[in-house]
Structure 1
């Protein structure tokens, strides 16, 4: 006999606990391969990042526990390690020092330790001790004075040599397979990487000498430069409104569009603020694998470079969300891929293409717990019994960025709420990536208006369809998504029942004046329409800043913010809290002591406060 319990939406019993989401889960990234040895990063609940080797005897954590492979270049950080030609690993530690690790002995040698210099995006030379990196110089620590370079670091001596300078920004330096060339992306203020980053390269000579600097014409907006094993240089660039793959042989050929029928409106190569994205991977002269993103959902495809054809490698249930530093070549016929599917949490896979049909092998899952797939909310309807005549409360989640995207891959944090009876909706509002250039650029000049109104329209749609509880709609999001929370609640004070703003923006002009170098011109591009007269700019900043309209907020609001946030300083939260408190509003601020922009070490605290908040405001 089956006994059914009846419980209100939001109060269902669920086996997915806070511990399931935090202490029993980990983030996986950055697969790296050299001479048959394979490594990747695991980031724990504390925010500590370990370097793990995939060996014949299983998984081995090779980084001593006092270290964490991370950095704060461009404040967000970037790819934190690579495997050198002799099998040692060069990595940046959490304090921005650079070290070399002997993975067999566990010995760590400090190479570079300068309090004003930071390093990221490591890429090792195939036969020597030199390793490329992006260097960031904070000797003059203001956004307009911070300098960036492409450098080479010698893993034996610690010598650092600057090989590219003069541009405001550099991303993703890469050695060619034979070690004779170096390629990278560069761009300057006031432009943004999405439409201004150019592909450049030079010849690499002995002892870190370089020559013959060139840049590829018509490569504006390039992303993810990647060398194929035969020396072909690939990159992503927008054409006809969508980002497609191109290839060139430096010094010999003009760029060629890898035109794939059926993928002309897919996005290949990722636009993201975090440097070091790897969402496609050349395997051989014939084959390349890629995450092709259409309407925000990724499809893992195998591309035949000779026939200009493609085929699907995995079902969406297994892989439909692959982002950031997610792929690495193993051989002509295999690769490592990190991603999640609609019923599969983030997993590290080994993909084999040399058989009659592709074979996908699980290497590491991001969660130690297994749940019945029937528990997971999916695009299909999943029915649970609840009191008759009631509807679930709805949580609308606005991703950060705002130039970002929420994919459909399984996230235990989301399932934590859906398995308790909440409806949960990720909104890819105007300005999101994965939908083509027109949709992405529609936010520029309209930030704080169009995106906030999108969230309101979303709430009104679900309410009009009778699918969610009237008086039970909450909105949340981090960073740019947190700004959307505040804007939605000031512009439309009666729509949402409650809000939860995480590391959000309350004063737009002040953020533009005090944020870090990478995004210091981004704020103006987002908020100020092109051609606006100078004497009207301040009035637009005033209009778009929630702190000056906080008296319009009628419903309960919680803010969570890291005290060491260098992207959106915590004063942005403290200031709007003071204004709301003075007006007698229902406001709560949770300060994450010692935490930065991503709240990496506060995942448990964040989830516990969020659960309490929605139970109090949406359920009770």
Structure 2
């Protein structure tokens, strides 16, 4: 029976524990022989990630028991944390363990106990490893080494390094062989040519972020496994000269084709396009390279937040598996000769940048509006795609799932703003005639990120209770070309705030949302947008701010990790030239303007957005009579992973809306708001 009840008061089967239990997704898929391996989250086990294998007979098992945590901290955001190969004794696996950041090796079918390959370091953040490539012919694993040289987060160097597989470097740093020098601040792991004689990788330097400008580096590999003739081939070649280039070129991925040519993704045209180049070409690769699928005005790559992301891989028959799209992504097979591109059929609208190939098989991870992230296999011979593992299971009646629609709104100066709108939806309830629903604007992180249109039980938690959600892909988001991405350049805290407000106002003006019951929420860069919105507009009745940036000056002067330590040079402007802009934009320095109630959520182990910023913000708000709550979480870093944290966070957010919007609910734990 359908019951009439006010928006926000609807009863729902989507509880916080269900949301927490299904948080996270599989990642970093790979092949070991003819077995499929990947990592999976375990929210109930302290938020660790385990390594899972699927045997040819379909049996799946977790390889590493607690407390092993397969996750790298390189750049703090990590990346590809494991590699494996098939040997006479069964699989040989090398992985990075989160707690101590050492590399370990294990042979699950022999002695399964992991053995360390790399040493500890007491200096700063120690030694960290990511994006490994096994070289059993040399008895080594090649990967990125991130080595701290001092206590400050910016006292760090990164090189390509070779680690002995015999464990001789476990107590002896000198046994680690460095393959590259540290002329570049950032590098990805090496990609080896089919004949093993060349290596290619990506490098970049401050103040550029990898989506601003990178270099594709190449080198010859000697018989002894050393690099020679190291040089940039394509990419942001101007940045290699003093002063850098005026216009950047972002190369997001490199791979070798079977014929020895180098495949890469470049955004020189304004879109990340797939190209090919002869590695012996002179270093003016713009002329020598050739686009393989030109003029589509969509992305074949993305922002390199995690080292080792893959948007494409070559297949044995010369075709390429590619992840591509505009605002959403599809898995396709590209013929690089004809440019013909055929997409896999299926319900998936978002493919994560992780791929593996084996013969005619392509493995990827995908989700859709009605399914969570699944491990999908595409058989390129038949064109048939099937779910291989992590199959979506409806843990509640799909009738309670959100019913989203993607829309394009008009923002200031007539600019387009892309968003996913999730209206309140519950088959058991309708609202009284004439009532408009409350809406929460979700600002994604990054800010160089994007909210995908996929099933999210956290969204269902709110929509099934009668609270709408608007996910805004504000200017600066990826997936819509470089021009859209660079709208935020110098205007962070302006464009993102304006775009979120434009969507919220449009929903109210068209009669889809209650103008008096609008809220905003976000984490990380989205937390910044939420805080900046509350201190610069009176549009929102309240807001939820999670692990945010609040003080730009502090962030730009040693208050964050190395990777993003100069990100504000492009988002805000050169600190040396516009220091007043940093203060002017910071929510910390406008705490006197905030009037709406807010909830502040923070991990106490966060080194990207440290809790000190929250503490200074709270001190600035104290005594001003603004209702607020602060929930710090021990053992959590940048983004929450533990089930108990996720439960508390989502229930506290609902409790904020209950109090602010005047909702009547008896199933929400108390949240004390202090003035």
The two structures have a TM-score, normalised by structure 2, of: 0.86
The residue aligned with 1:175 is 192
1:260 aligns with 2:264: no
Alignment of 1:38-437 (within 5 A): 38-45=36-43, 46-55=46-55, 56-84=57-85, 86=87, 87-94=91-98, 95-105=100-110, 106-115=112-121, 116-125=126-135, 127-157=137-167, 158=169, 159-165=175-181, 166-218=183-235, 220-251=249-280, 255-260=288-293, 264-294=296-326, 296-315=327-346, 318-324=347-353, 326-331=354-359, 333-355=360-382, 357-365=383-391, 369=395, 371-372=397-398, 375-379=401-405, 385-437=430-482
Distance 1:323 1:372 in 2: 23
1:9 corresponds to which residue? 7
Which deviates more from structure 2 when the two are superposed, residues 165-174 or residues 16-25?
Answer: 16-25
Deviations 1:259-279 (A, max 9, x none): 436x62101112132222112
CA contact (8 A) 2:278 2:289 kept: no
Partner of 1:538: 579
Shift of 1:248: 2.5
Deviation at 1:207, TM superposition (A): 4.4
Deviations 1:280-310 (A, max 9, x none): 222234321222121x211222212221111
Distance 1:619 1:269 in 2: 45
Tell me, yes or no, if the aligned pair for 1:181 and 1:204 is still in contact at 8 Å.
yes
Q: Distance in 2 between matches of 1:330 and 1:205?
A: 28
Check whether the contact 2:138–2:225 (CA below 8 A) recurs between aligned residues: no
- Could you say which residue in structure 1 is the equivalent of 2:512? 467
Moved more, 133-142 or 11-20: 11-20
Q: CA deviation at 1:61?
A: 0.8
Shift in Å, 1:564 = 1.0
Deviations 1:486-540 (A, max 9, x none): 1111110x20011000011111010111211111111122112x6x9x4x62211
> CA separation in 2, counterparts of 1:171 and 1:556?
43
Deviations 1:540-569 (A, max 9, x none): 111011111111111101110111110011
Question: Does structure 2 retain, via aligned residues, the 8 Å contact 1:565–1:596?
Answer: yes
Structure 2, unmatched stretches of 5+, are 170-174, 237-248, 407-422, 664-675
Aligned residues of 1:173 and 1:183 also touching (Cα < 8 A): yes
CA contact (8 A) 1:512 1:521 kept: yes
Preserved CA contact (<8 Å) 1:502 1:559: yes
Q: Tell me if structure 2 keeps the 8 A contact 1:279–1:322.
A: no
| Alignment deviations for residues 175-207 of structure 1 (CA, whole Å, 9 cap, x no partner) | 233432221111122222213210012122344
1:426 deviates by 0.9
Query: How many corresponding residue pairs?
Result: 606
Q: Which runs of 5+ in 1 are unaligned?
A: none
Q: Is the 8 A contact 2:276 2:292 kept in 1?
A: no
Indicate how the Cα distance of structure 1 residues 227 and 24 shifts in structure 2: closer, same or farther if over 3 A, else same. same
Could you tell me how far 1:68 is from its partner in structure 2? Answer: 0.6
Q: Answer with 123-132 or 464-473: which moved more.
A: 123-132
CA contact (8 A) 2:13 2:396 kept: no
- Report if the CA contact (8 A) 1:400-1:480 is conserved: yes
Contact 1:399 1:426 in 2 (8 A): yes
Matches within 5 A, 1:443-454: 443-454=488-499
- 2:241 equivalent in structure 1: none
Q: How far apart, CA to CA, are the structure 1 residues paired with 2:358 and 2:390?
A: 16
Distance 2:341 2:107 in 1: 40
2:141, 2:60 → 1: CA distance? 25
Kindly state the Cα deviation for residue 35 of structure 1 after the two structures are TM-superposed. Answer: 2.1
Residue 20 of structure 1 corresponds to which residue in structure 2? 18
In the aligned structure 2, how far is the partner of 1:4 from the partner of 1:63?
48
Q: Is the 8 A contact 1:377 1:418 kept in 2?
A: no
SS in 1 for 2:375: strand
- What RMSD in Å do the two structures reach over aligned CA positions? 2.2
Per-residue deviation at 1:476? 0.5
Over residues 23-69 of structure 1, what are the superposed CA-to-partner deviations in whole Å (9 max), with x where a residue is unaligned?
24552000111322321000111321111001125111111322111
The verdict on how the C-alpha distance between 1:516 and 1:125 changes in structure 2, with shifts beyond 3 A counting, is: same
Rounded Cα–Cα distance in structure 1 between residues aligned with 2:426 and 2:52: 40
- Cα 1:33/1:98, change in 2 over 3 Å: same
